[in-house]
Amino acid sequence: MSTHVRHPIWLPALRPADARTFASLYAVESFARATISSVIPIQAYEILHNERIVSILYTIVSLMGLSVTLFMPMLIRRFARRWVYTAGCLMLAIGSAFFVTHTLPGQIGGMLCRVMGASALSITLNLYIMDHIRKTDFMQAESLRMAWSMFAWTGGPTLGIFLYTHFGIYAAHGAVVVFALALLCLFWFYRLTDNQSIRPGRSRPANPLANIGRFVAQPRLRLAWLIAFGRSCFWTTFFVYGPLFMVITGQGELAGGLLVSAGNALLFVAIFWGRAGQRFGGRRVMTFAYFAMSAVLFAAGGVGEAAPLLTGALLLYGALFTIALDALGSTAFMRSVRSYERAQMAAVYRTYLDFSELTPPLVYSVVLSFFGLGSVFVTLGILAAFCGFVTWRYLPKAF
C-alpha cells in the first residue's frame, strides 16, 4: 500500500459554488470598498482645500477608470480569471498603502488602484456567476447578493469615519487591507474554476473599440446597459445630492449621513424584490419600479426645500424601488450575452457605472443654472420614466 496516496478529505467535500458563494464574496468585497468610501473625499479635501479641484480629481480618475474597464478583457484573455480576481484584491490593499502617505500623488495612486481593483473584481465575479448559476436562478442569486451587501454599505462608511477620526489614517486604511486579504483567502478557499467556453476564438476582436461596436450592435445588450445606467444614476444622485440637500436646507450633516445610511439599510429588501421578479416576471417588476421611482422623484422635486424632511423621506421611497432594479437589472445582461464573448461584453457593460458618475453632475450643473435644487430630482425622474418606458416596450415579455 506504499503507492496509495491519501488526499485531504476537505478538498472534495467542498460544496459546488452557489448563490451564497457569490453573495459572501460580494459582501466581503463591499466591506473592503465601503469602509473608506466616506474617508477618501475627506482626505482629498484635506490635501487640496478646494471643492472644485476635488471634483476635477474625481472626474479624471473616473475617466481613467473607464479606460481600465474597457481594457480588462485583454487581461482576462491573457491570464486566467482567478489571477485577475487575485490582482483585484491586491490592488485594493495596495491602494490603501498609497492613501496613508496623505499626499497628492498618493491620493491619485490610491484612487486609481481602488478603481482598477473594483473593475477587476466586478467583471470577473460577474463572469463566475454566469458560469456557475443557471439562468433561471439569476434573480434569486442577484437579490441575495444585494441583500448581503447591505451590512457592508450600511456600517462600512460609519466604521471608516470612526477609525479615521478616532485612531487615525493607518487604522482606517488598515481595515481595508484586512478585508481585502480576507476576500483573497475566501476566494481561493472556494477554488472557483474558469469555464473554457468563455474564452473567445482567435477571430474574435479583442480591442476595446471593436468590443464597443459589438456591444452596441446587440439591442438586448443596449437595453441591459440602459437599465443599469438609470438605476446607477439614482444612486449617484442619492449619495451626492441627498446629503447636500440636507445641509443646504439647514438639516445638518448628520441628517445627510443618516439619509445615506437609511438608504443603504434598505438593501435587505432585495430578497423580496427577487421573489417578486420570479413570481410576476422581471419585466413587470422592473417597469413598475422605474415608474414608481419616477413618480416619487417628481414628488420630491415638487416638495423641494419647502419640507426638507419630507423630501428626504421621498428619496428613501425612491431608493426602495431602485433596489428592485439592483436585484433584477443585471439579469437582463446575464441572460442576453453570448457565452463566447462574456468577458468582452461584461467590460463594456460595466461602463454604465463610470458614465453614471460622470453624466449626472454635468447635466445637473446646467439645470441648476436655471432652477432650484429640487430640479435635480425632477430631471432624474424624467430619466427614470424614460427607462421605464423602454424597459416595458423592448424587454421580452417572457423575461
Mean pLDDT of the chain: 84
| CB distance 83 to 64 below 8 Å | no
DSSP 8-state class, residue 268: G
Which residues are CB-contacts of 362 (< 8 A; sequence separation ≥ 6)? none
pLDDT in tens, 123-143: 899 888 888 888 777 777 888
pLDDT class of 259 with cuts at 50, 70, 90: confident
Q: How far is CA 114 from CA 36, 120, 283, 369, in A?
A: 10, 10, 34, 33
Q: If you search the block for the grid coordinates 424597459, which residue do you land on?
A: 391
Q: If you search the block for the grid coordinates 479583442, which residue do you land on?
A: 206
Q: If you search the block for the grid coordinates 419647502, which residue do you land on?
A: 306
Buried b vs exposed e over 199-220: b needs ≥16 C-beta within 10 Å? bbeeebebebeebbebbeeeeb
- Over 60: is that where the pLDDT of 215 sits? yes
pLDDT in tens, 350-364: 888 888 888 887 888
C-alpha 133/C-alpha 235 separation (Å) is 27
Range from 87-91, 275-279, 345-349 that averages highest in pLDDT: 87-91
Buried b vs exposed e over 234-268: b needs ≥16 C-beta within 10 Å? bbbbbbbbbbebbeebebeeebbbebbebbbbbbb
- Give the pLDDT score at 201: 44
pLDDT class of 279 with cuts at 50, 70, 90: confident
Q: What residue type is assigned to position 178 of the chain?
A: V
Half-sphere exposure of 149 (CA within 13 A, CB side): 23
- Give the pLDDT score at 203: 42
Counting residues of the chain whose pLDDT is more than 70, the rounded percentage is 91
Provide φ and ψ at 394, rounded to 5°.
-115, -20
- Give the pLDDT score at 1: 43
C-alpha 23/C-alpha 96 separation (Å) is 24
pLDDT in tens, 283-340: 899 999 999 999 999 999 999 888 889 999 999 999 999 999 988 888 888 888 887 7
- H/E element, 143: helix 138-166
Dihedral Cα 66, 70, 76, 79, nearest 10 deg = -80
Range from 38-42, 108-112, 135-139, 239-243 that averages highest in pLDDT: 108-112
* 190 against 207, higher pLDDT: 190
- Rg, Å, the chain Cα set: 21
- Give the pLDDT score at 253: 64
Q: Which of 16-25, 170-179, 313-322 has the lowest mean pLDDT?
A: 16-25
- Give the pLDDT score at 14: 56
Grid coordinates representing 245 are 440637500
Across the range 80-94, mean pLDDT stands at 92
Give the max Cα distance, the chain: 85
Counting residues of the chain whose pLDDT is more than 90, the rounded percentage is 33
Across the range 68-72, mean pLDDT stands at 82
Helix, coil or strand: residue 243: helix
Grid coordinates representing 254 are 448628520
Across the range 268-286, mean pLDDT stands at 88
- Give the pLDDT score at 196: 52
Range from 3-7, 27-31, 38-42 that averages highest in pLDDT: 27-31
pLDDT class of 3 with cuts at 50, 70, 90: very low
pTM: 0.79
